[in-house]
Amino acid sequence: MTATRPLSLVTGASAGIGEAFARELAARGHDLVLVARREDRLRALADELQRTHGNSCEVIAADLSDPAAPESLCRALESRGLQVDWLINNAGYGLPGTLVANPWQAHADFVQVMMTAPTELAWRLLPGMHERRYGRVVNVASLAGFVPGTAGHTLYAASKAYLIKLSQSLALENRDAGVHVSALCPGFTWSEFHDVTGTRQKMNAMPGFMWLAADEVARQGIEAVERGKVVHVPGRINRTIKAITEWLPDRLALWLSHRQSGRYRNHHD
């Protein structure tokens, strides 16, 4: 890695918003560490970005549902002499069904990926950012972290609300060290997410104005953290939903959230 290029680590970089972050950061002159389970996809993306932008792209295949993965990942960085300037905690997925419809191990894996791993990666990488007096951390949360929880995908909104609160605290704790921390909170985004959760057919019935492209979400996330914006909700319609939800009485907001969630979520799987 050259001294003039920031080094960005992107988790969940094999598709969707994570891949979009990798492409946008590479175009802005960053070297990259790409992390995900699917090594073949990571290597194809790394080769493409290196040819296009002349940057360096390291590939580390890791399953963040493994509690040992964050420490192992950071040891791999150290062994390669890599110092992370930007941490993009993007890895995530949805777990369809109610709480009791899934085995406990599925929930434990989900909490590990969505909450524990991003927290541990920040804990392990922030000290180096402090030493260099520069760093950026983007925790990819969701508009779901602001609206009332719904039946089905029980832990998803809860995990995203956690990332928002975590980002707010980290932003305050690290701002005097030259480190900016932001929670990026997109709404509906074109990606593989809904194919994996089995809700693609429902999602295709949603109006087009509700959606943002992954590259636009990533671009706004990068610009927000650079400005020191602690929480960013991309898209006017998403900001409107957030504002309405905050204004409504809790009981009414919960009822509306439950009623509307049937359009894009399977309540009783």
Catalytic one of 93, 134, 156, 264 = 156
Distances (CA, A) of 184 to 71, 226, 229: 24, 12, 10
**Does the active-site annotation cover 156?**
yes
Q: How many CB atoms lie within 10 A of CB 81?
A: 7
In 167-221, which ranges are E strands? Answer: 179-184
Strand-by-strand arrangement of the 179-184 sheet: 57-61, 31-36, 7-11, 86-89, 135-140, 179-184, 231-232
3 state SS of 184: strand
Q: What is the CA radius of gyration of the chain?
A: 18
Contact assessment for residue 62 and residue 74, using Cβ atoms and an 8 Å cutoff:
no
Greatest Cα pair distance in the chain: 54
Who's near 177: CB < 8 A, 6+ residues apart? 129, 130, 133, 135
Cβ-contact 60, 82 below 8 angstroms:
no
Catalytic residues, which ones?
Answer: 156
